[in-house]
Amino acid sequence: MDPELSPDQKLFEAAAKDFLDKEYPLDRIRRMDAGAGFDRDWWRRGAELGWTAMLVPEELGGGSVSGEGVRDLALLAEVLGAGVAPGPLLATNTVLAGLVAAHGTGPDHSAAIESLVSGEAVATWAVYEPGRQWAPLEPGLTARPAEGGFRLDGVKDRVEAAGDADLFLVTAATPQGTAQFLVPAATPGVTVERQWSLDLARHHGAVRFDGVRVDEAAMVGRPGAGEVVERQTQVALVIQCAEVCGGLDRVFEMTTQWARDRYTFGRPIASYQALKHRFADMRTWLEACHATTAAAASAVQEGSAGAAEPVSTAKSYVGDRSLAILQDCVQIHGGIGLTWEHDLHLYLRRATSNRSLYGTPQDHRRRLADLASL
Amino acid sequence: MTDGTTESVESFRLRARAWLAANMPRAEESAPAPGDELEAWHRARELQRKLYEGGFAGICYPAEYGGLGLTPAHQRAFTEEADGYEMPLLLNIPTLSICLPTILDMGSEEHKREHIGAVLRGEEVLVQFLSEPSGGSDLAGLLTRAELDGDTWILNGAKTWSSSAYAGDYALCLARTDPTVPKHHGLTMFLMPTKGEGITMNRVAMVDGTAEFCEEFFDNVRLPASAVVGEVNGGWAVATRQLYHERTAMGGGSPYVSGRGFAPSRKLPTPIDVARAAGRAGDPEVRELIGEWLATSTVSGQTAARVTRAIAGGHLPPAAASLMRLMGAEAMRLERDVAMRVAGACAAVAAGDEPGVLGEAGIGYLMRQGSSLGGGSVEMSRNIVSERLLGMPREYAADRGVPFNQVRRGRA
């Protein structure tokens, strides 16, 4: 909903919206089979629309509408968030952010990048571990040197789209520090178990690595290169916040319309000051969520060293404030807002899921205190 | 600014950087002693004069009235460069960002020629006579009367909550000139000297010990016809413009300031200062609170920038300025809450017989609601957002369309 979009960005936005509305209307998402992933053909067509190319430079087969890939990606995430879209937008683009950031510093992954950009392959970041909070640079999974390569042992969980992924980008502890490896799902010793997920359209799994042998070419970048993990984190957070902004726009619009149409005691509920003031606060927070998300996207776009601060600011703010808005929208809808048939829970599921992953608002507040040299 | 073309923002920035370094004192070296307020006002006028002489005053004011006639982007560049320098922040609110823009938008040619240059040269301070003891939010229901005696207006009544009026030279004063029509149609705005005959001014003591606000009593104050800003009985249009500038300024979005922010009437410790003074900087719970405050104040600034841009670009109506006002107030409430909570067991009783940093957190907490009341209560802002931005039905008003002299009034 950025009023300052270029004509090309507007076209891109409209194409994504049309495609989503046609293929994955909310009703289809509500009825998504708990066991099913997303439609791979749908994702391939999304890739043809440019959904996986934005963070990838042209020489590696990518490109973006405005030339500012992170901003375009945030725009797309808003559109897809407004429809609670399925698909590995966050998972694949986060991996691509890492592969591109590490490009030229370690083994070559340009073939993997190409397959992800085309939509033929899907990748995801295996970074969380069972029972642990957000600590991307402290993996318990080990990668021990073993005859021309490494042997991976350990378990990752909360891995988005784990059941659909062809490639896992795995954080691992090596003798030289934390490193990342790009591991095909079909590698012997890799097993995936489905995990229950709050978000109906986005599934997660636990991925076990039992003596998985990879060669040196599987490494992404170099060990100890925390800035690649940081870049991935930043991209994931920008996508999360933008998705939530898109969802909030839709829910806020839906709820103001409801308040105008719904009458009690002979007047629309939008005429009660007790509700008008809550709408005013929600409208303010909505603007604030967009403002901080746009600022985070710009900082990540510029790749500035100071990007961590605006990104953590956005996650800290949007993560909690979005839920305050959504729960108040449920309250204003009344009992209908708690029913399965209503759309509200689809948004609440996505926002709650996004709040909890890649660092909670509390994690990011502590990081802001660190960054302020307190 | 040579041969009629506008200087680029980058070139202006570089020139400002060099000039500031050569001419302006660094902020930390020269902060005036707290409490010495008349000296602080004198200092602000002096600094403003320096800016004027250096060619950096009134960046967004038209050149024909003594400004530079440049864009908000030039102003932002200057503001960024001016960080860390001592700036005449006392003049930002209300003189430079509320009163003077109102005169620019609505004043007569004579007002503009007389006052814009004088303010930019540091010779004049402007203040507002708006609120009255009889009511705050219902501004248009004010009681101060202005009656014509030949060519002269005679003012009688009382005003209050006039920020820093004791330091002002002129005030924008809203008065009732026709009580026989509905309230908004019988008001006129005057630009009046603050120290004229018939004006009695007192200072209002606040809970934190400051006395920045004044109250004024008018006893047959005489003003010439030329004191009218805008039209006679058209004062509400002027006040609306003034309130728009006020909300923009309070939200941090004004392009008319000298330096970032405005001078607080009392310098309070930040939550970070409080955490250090309390020895609690290592406590994860304290760090979380501080992170929450840091995020919210950053978001408040980001929101102000976004809304200002959207209003300027016509994507949002001017009423959207209330969004930044609400967000700014929220950030300020959180700052006071966090400071008090971080001070913990030490917010209420100091180690010695001075409040110290931790006691200041307690005192600051007493004034927590200040930012939610000053410049119009947040309740009014919420009405504006819900009614003008979201198009929800207006509140019932018993005085709508009723001649002012027939509207019922309370006893308080």
Render B333-402 in DSSP notation, one character per residue: HHHHHHHHHHHGGGSSS-SSSS-HHHHHHHHHHHTTTHHHHTTS-HHHHHHHIIIIIS-PPPPP-TTTTS
Which stretch of DSSP H or E encloses residue A151? strand A149-160
Superfamily (CATH) of domain B127-245: Butyryl-CoA Dehydrogenase, subunit A, domain 2 (2.40.110.10)
Identify all chain A residues contacting B298, using CB atoms and an 8 Å cutoff.
292, 309-310, 313
Q: Closest partner residue to A313 among B299, B386, B390, by Cβ?
A: B299
Please indicate whether, in this complex, the C-beta atoms of A368 and B291 are within 8 angstroms of each other: yes
What is residue A32's predicted lDDT score, i.e. its pLDDT? 78
Mean pLDDT in residue range A187-213: 96
**pLDDT score at B28:** 73
| Partners of residue A364 in chain B, C-beta under 8 Å | 291, 295
Torsion of CA A134, A137, A140, A143, to 10 degrees: 140
* Three-class secondary structure of residue A373 per DSSP: coil
> Is the CB of residue B231 less than 8 Å away from at least one CB of chain A?
no
For residue A323, how far is the Cα from the chain centroid? 17
How many contacts (CB atoms, under 8 Å) link A and B? Answer: 133
Which of A291, A317, A374 minimises the CB distance to B295?
A: A317
Q: What is the pLDDT of residues A99-130, one digit of tens each?
A: 999 999 999 999 999 999 999 999 999 999 99
User: Rounded to whole angstroms, how far apart are CA atoms B294 and B331?
Assistant: 9
Interchain contact B390–A (C-beta under 8 A) = yes
Q: Amino acid identity, residue A56?
A: V
Q: Which residues in chain A are closer than 8 Å to B384, comparing Cβ atoms?
A: 280
CB of B270 within 8 Å of a chain A CB? The answer is no
Mean pLDDT of all residues in chain A? 96
- In this predicted structure, what is the pLDDT of residue B259? 84
Q: Which residues of chain B have pLDDT under 50?
A: 1-3
- Per-residue pLDDT at A35: 59
pLDDT at position B374 is: 84
Beta strands in B39-186 (DSSP E): 126-129, 145-149, 152-163, 170-176
**B305 touching chain A per CB within 8 A:** yes
A317/B330 CB distance under 8 A: no
Domain ranges in chain B with CATH number 1.10.540.10: 9-123
Give which of A238, A342, A338, A330 is closest to A282, Cα–Cα.
A330
Inter-chain CB proximity A369 and B392 less than 8 Å: no
Which of A273, A275, A287, A328 has the highest number of chain B CBs within 10 A, making it the mutation to test binding with B?
A287
Cα of first residue to Cα of last residue in chain B, in angstroms, is: 56
A3: chain B residues, CB-CB within 8 Å: 310, 313, 315
Q: Which of B247, B287, B330, B379 to mutate to test the interface with A (most CBs of A within 10 A)?
A: B287
On the question of pLDDT at A98 being above 60, the answer is yes
Please indicate whether, in this complex, the C-beta atoms of A271 and B387 are within 8 angstroms of each other: no
The Cα–Cα gap between A90 and B195 comes to: 65
A362: nearest CA partner in chain B: B288
Query: So what's the pLDDT on residue B3?
Result: 46
Q: Do B393 and A268 touch (CB under 8 A)?
A: yes
CA distance A155 to chain B (A): 28
Domain(s) of CATH 1.20.140.10: residues in chain B: 268-390
> pLDDT tens, A172-189?
999 999 999 999 999 999
Which residues of chain B have a CB within 8 Å of the CB of A268? 393
- CATH homologous superfamily, domain B9-123: Acyl-CoA dehydrogenase/oxidase, N-terminal domain (1.10.540.10)
Q: Cβ–Cβ of B383/A273 closer than 8 Å?
A: yes
For helices A226-261 and A344-356, angle between their N-to-C axes, nearest 10 degrees? 160
β-partners of residue B187 are B176
Its ipTM equals 0.95
| CA–CA distance, A164 with A44 (Å, rounded to integer) | 13
Considering only the C-alpha atoms of chain B, give the largest distance between any 2 of them, rounded to a whole number of Å.
72
End-to-end CA distance of chain A: 36
Work out the number of other CB atoms within 10 angstroms of the CB of residue B60. 21
Residue for token pair 């991996």: A95
8 Å CB contact of A362 and B288: yes
User: CA-nearest residue of chain A to B326?
Assistant: A284
Residue with tokens 């006639």: B69
Chain B contacts of A366, Cβ < 8 Å? 284, 287-288, 291
Q: Which residues of chain B neighbour A369 with C-beta distances below 8 Å? A: 287-288, 290-291, 294
Tell me the fold of B268-390.
Butyryl-CoA Dehydrogenase, subunit A; domain 3 (1.20.140)
Q: What is the mean pLDDT of residues A321-341?
A: 97
Residue pair B105/B135 in contact (Cβ under 8 Å)? The answer is no
Per-residue model confidence (pLDDT) at position A326? 98
CA of B320 to nearest chain A CA: how many angstroms apart? 9
**How far does B174 lie from chain A, in Å, by closest CA?**
28
**Chain A residue at shortest CA distance from B383:** A277
Question: What is the reported pLDDT for B2?
Answer: 45
pLDDT value of residue A29: 87
- Could you give the CA distance from residue B294 to residue B107 in angstroms, rounded to a whole number? 40
DSSP class of residue B95 equals: I
Tell which of A241, A365, A367, A373 to mutate to test the B interface (max B CBs under 10 Å).
Answer: A365
Q: Which chain A residues touch B387 with a CB distance below 8 Å?
A: 276
Residues in A lying within 8 Å of B, measured between beta carbons: 3-4, 256, 259-260, 267-268, 270-271, 273, 276-277, 279-281, 283-284, 287-288, 290-292, 294-295, 309-310, 312-313, 316-317, 361-362, 364-370, 372, 374
Please indicate if any CB of chain A lies within 8 Å of the CB of B154: no
CATH 2.40.110.10 residue ranges for chain B: 127-245
Instruction: Choose among B291, B299, B395: nearest Cβ to A364.
Output: B291
pLDDT recorded at residue B46: 96
- A1 CB neighbours in chain B (<8 A) are none
Give me the domains of chain A, ranges plus CATH numbers: 7-118 (1.10.540.10), 123-220 (2.40.110.10), 226-371 (1.20.140.10)
Closest Cβ opposite residue A288 in set B275, B276, B303: B303
CA proximity to B119, closest of B182, B65, B200: B65
Q: Which residue of B has its CA nearest to A363?
A: B288
